Structure 1
Amino acid sequence: MTTTMKQGLRDGDLVLGTFVFEFATLGIGRLAAGAGAQFVIYDAEHTGWGWETLGRLVATTRDADPLIRVPHAARTTISRALDTGARGVMVPMVESAEEARDIVRWAKYPPDGVRGAAFGVAHDDYAATDNVAYMRRVNDEHLVITQIETVAGLAAVEEVAAVDGVDVLWVGHFDLTNSMGIPGRFDHPDYLAALDRVAAAARAAGKHAGFMAGGPQEAEMLIKRGFRILAYGGDLWIYQAALRSGLSEVRGLG
């Protein structure tokens, strides 16, 4: 049951994965895993994907941990994401410890939370098992990722980090700079200070800081700042960049 990414974080490893926004194919999760991704985050915030699509993506992701970024914090949204079989949820725009506590409650079975119980379905691979032991394992092993991507969230980041059950503080970089009034200014000292504050809050609370890095240079900067869980880009941008590079090289041959 232990997720490869959560065990890696516990061991102090650098944990790497990717986002999927566009290519809802049955092979995308296995392709990502074959490339070395330890996790795949399927995005339901910025896509039009419904639960059937997300369920198929999660079900066909093997050898990497499937996660879902839900569009908003709500009990039914979080529980449905987990009931597809996702091994964790990412929740955008978290701005207070109270919100974080609600997210944890919705993501955890009793006695740690209020997640509804249904067994022998997709999330437990349709297996007959010791349901009480299963709930305990899932509560311990599945990830809760809260996104810090507003000025209000940044102001409350230490309180959010302190919430029991929150595993990762994930910076939503463009939204954060928008909220700070410096859209896209990723070299701005206030933004860089915000990265340091999130990393410090995570470290102080025994949690982990996460980010979607656009390339190796950005990833190096983040690692030096203490970020230990990184998504390397997203499917559509990786594909487009690789295609552009290849076409440009071939075009130069003519």
Structure 2
Amino acid sequence: MTLDVIDRARAGQVALGTFVFEFDSNGIGRLAAGAGAEFVVFDAEHTGWGWETIGRLLATTRPAGIPAWVRVPSAEDRSAVSRALDLGARGVMAPMVESEEAARRLVAWSAYPPRGVRGAAFGIAHDDYVAGDFLDTIARANDDTVVIAQIETVAGLEEVERIAAVDGLDVLWVGHFDLTNSMGIPGRFDHPDYLAALDRVASAAADHGKLAGFMPTSVPQATDLVERGFRLLAYGGDLWIYQKALATDLGAIRSATDSGRT
């Protein structure tokens, strides 16, 4: 499931998904899948969701047949990585990864021995509560779990080639607002230094067999990212997509019925 998405992206196809920040509906993952999303990322960094909510979102997305990944609150919290994976996430995204050492820890926390140091618990949520051969479970999880490091600070950008070289890391993901903030050009997404940073991340990913990922919010932005070498794109987030679609259609109805407010 996860490997299908990652393998297609590695083969040069663009894999499209979305972020979920706000709508903790039991149907949100299946709605995303029904709209054509190939993966969904549930955010635990910028939301107030607890692990019970994350677990329910993961469980109700699994029947949709698309992988659900979790952005954990910190790259320095092993317990968050463990909980996300044990609850059924098929991958983890860590914010503000700034060094090769941090990337290596993230990979180790995400894999069972001998590849890593993930704690063992079998027959629980990540196994759909079905007992089985734990050796098969270990091998499958180690092969199928996606590990994503966010490059969103100057420190991370300066180390991006070393981070990209870490075995077991799958994706370098640019956090664009945080990166421009760190660069001293907040929100200047047309700034040549920022554009050079995008190219540097994409190049580091390609040089080391990794994928470059991003959260675009428009078709032109997505098109530009693909041209730069990004192949894993999570289009927008639930709250902004809803707000934008509602505003567009309400405005169209007001115009069509001449009922605009005065």
Counterpart CA distance in 1 for 2:233 and 2:105 is 25
CA RMSD of aligned residues (A): 0.9
Q: Where does 1:98-109 land on structure 2 (aligned, <5 Å)?
A: 98-109=101-112
Contact kept, 8 Å, 2:2 with 2:90, in 1: the verdict is no
- In structure 2, the CA distance between the partners of 1:2 and 1:66, relative to structure 1 (3 Å rule), is closer
Counterpart CA distance in 1 for 2:2 and 2:137 is 12
Counterpart CA distance in 1 for 2:255 and 2:157 is 47
Residue 121 of structure 1 corresponds to 124
- Is the aligned partner of 1:236 residue 2:239? yes
Counterpart CA distance in 2 for 1:184 and 1:12 is 29
Q: What percentage of aligned pairs have identical amino acids?
A: 66
Provide Cα deviations, 1:2-47, integer angstroms capped at 9, x if missing partner. 5432232243321110000000000000000000101000000000
Provide Cα deviations, 1:123-165, integer angstroms capped at 9, x if missing partner. 0111121111211111111100000000000000000000001
Counterpart CA distance in 1 for 2:79 and 2:8 is 29
Paired residue type of 1:104: V
- Is the aligned partner of 1:11 residue 2:11? yes
Moved more, 192-201 or 244-253: 244-253
Contact kept, 8 Å, 1:39 with 1:65, in 2: the verdict is yes
Picking from 68, 71, 75, the partner of 2:73 is 71
Residue 142 of structure 1 corresponds to 145
Paired residue type of 1:72: S
Provide Cα deviations, 1:185-230, integer angstroms capped at 9, x if missing partner. 0000000000000000000000000000011100000000000000
- Is the aligned partner of 1:181 residue 2:189? no
- In structure 2, the CA distance between the partners of 1:105 and 1:13, relative to structure 1 (3 Å rule), is same
Residue 171 of structure 2 corresponds to 168
Contact kept, 8 Å, 2:16 with 2:235, in 1: the verdict is yes
- In structure 2, the CA distance between the partners of 1:184 and 1:108, relative to structure 1 (3 Å rule), is same
Residue 229 of structure 2 corresponds to 226
Normalising by structure 2, what TM-score?
Answer: 0.95
Contact kept, 8 Å, 1:4 with 1:65, in 2: the verdict is no
- Structure 2 unmatched runs, 5+: none
Counterpart CA distance in 2 for 1:234 and 1:38 is 14
Moved more, 122-131 or 92-101: 122-131
Normalising by structure 1, what TM-score?
Answer: 0.98
Picking from 159, 163, 182, the partner of 2:162 is 159
TM-fit CA distance, 1:243: 0.2
Residue 52 of structure 1 corresponds to 52
Contact kept, 8 Å, 2:8 with 2:15, in 1: the verdict is yes
Moved more, 28-37 or 73-82: 73-82
Aligned pair count? 254
- In structure 2, the CA distance between the partners of 1:107 and 1:15, relative to structure 1 (3 Å rule), is same
